[in-house]
Amino acid sequence: MGNSPKLALALVGLVLGTSLVACGDGRAGAEDAAKQLATAVSALDVGSVGFDGKESGAVNDQLKEIFQGLDPDKPAVQAGELTFDADTATFPLNYAWKVGAEEWKYTVSAQLKKSGDKWLTVWKPAMLVPELADGEIVTRSTDTPQRAAILGAGNVPLVTYRPVVKVGVDKPALGGADPADSATKLAKLVGVDPAGYAQQVAAAGPEAFVSAITLRDDGSRTITDAQISAIPGGRAVPDSLPLAPTRTFARALLGTAAEANAEQIEKSGGALKPGDTTGIGGLQQQYDAQLRGSDGIVIRAQKAGLTAEEIKAATTDPRRVLFRTEVKTGTALKTTLDPKLQQLAEDVLADVGPASAIVALRPSSGAVLAAASGPGSNGYDTAMLGQYAPGSIFKMIDSLAMFRNGMTPDSTVDCPPTLTVDGRTFKNAEGYPESSLGSVTLRDAFAHSCNTAFINARDGVSQAQLESAATSLGVAVEAPALGAAAFLGSVPGEAEGTEHAASMIGQGKVLLSPLAAAVMAGSVAKGAPVAAQLVLNPNEGVADPAAAGTETPGTTPAVPPSGDAAASAAPAPAPATAAGKPVTAAEAASLADMMRAVVTSGHAGFLSSVPGAPVGAKTGTAEFGNDSPPKTHAWIVATHGDLAVAVFVEDGGLGATTSGPLLKEFLTRAS
Is residue 240, in this structure, part of any structural domain at all? no
d(CA 418, CA 429): 10
Q: What is the pLDDT of residues 548-593, one digit of tens each?
A: 433 433 333 434 444 443 343 345 556 666 566 999 999 999 999 9
Q: What is the pLDDT of residue 536?
A: 95
Q: Which residues of the chain have pLDDT under 70?
A: 1-25, 540-580
pTM to 2 decimals? Answer: 0.82
Identity of the amino acid at 179: P
Q: What is the pLDDT of residues 212-252, one digit of tens each?
A: 999 999 888 999 999 999 999 999 999 999 999 999 999 99
Please report how many Cα atoms fall inside a 13 Å half-sphere around the Cα of residue 300, on the Cβ side. 16
Domain span holding position 35: 20-134
Is residue 344, in this structure, part of any structural domain at all? yes
Q: What is the pLDDT of residue 556?
A: 36
**What's the number of domains the chain is made of?**
2
Is residue 75, in this structure, part of any structural domain at all? yes
The residue among 116, 134, 152 that closes a domain is 134
User: Which helix H or strand E contains 169, and what residues bound it?
Assistant: strand 157-170
d(CA 467, CA 216): 48
d(CA 437, CA 141): 78
pLDDT above 70 covers a percentage of the chain that reads: 90
Is residue 292, in this structure, part of any structural domain at all? no
Is residue 175, in this structure, part of any structural domain at all? no
Residue 211 pairs in a beta bridge with 168
User: Which helix H or strand E contains 585, and what residues bound it?
Assistant: helix 585-600
Q: What is the pLDDT of residue 561?
A: 45
Whats the size of the chain, residue-wise? 671
The residue among 107, 134, 161 that closes a domain is 134
CB neighbours (10 Å) of residue 200?
18
Whichever domain contains 100, its CATH number is 3.10.450.100
Is residue 334, in this structure, part of any structural domain at all? no
The residue among 99, 134, 169 that closes a domain is 134
Is residue 157, in this structure, part of any structural domain at all? no
Beta strands in 29-156 (DSSP E): 76-79, 83-85, 88-99, 102-115, 118-121, 136-143, 150-151
32-37 contacts, C-beta under 8 A, 24 or more apart: 32/119, 33/112, 33/118, 33/119, 33/120, 33/121, 34/79, 34/82, 34/89, 34/91, 34/110, 34/112, 35/79, 37/79, 37/93, 37/110, 37/121
Is residue 333, in this structure, part of any structural domain at all? no
Whichever domain contains 564, its CATH number is 3.40.710.10
CB 387 within 8 A of CB 566: yes
Q: What is the DSSP string of 491-528?
A: --S---HHHHHHHTTT-TT-BB-HHHHHHHHHHHHHTS
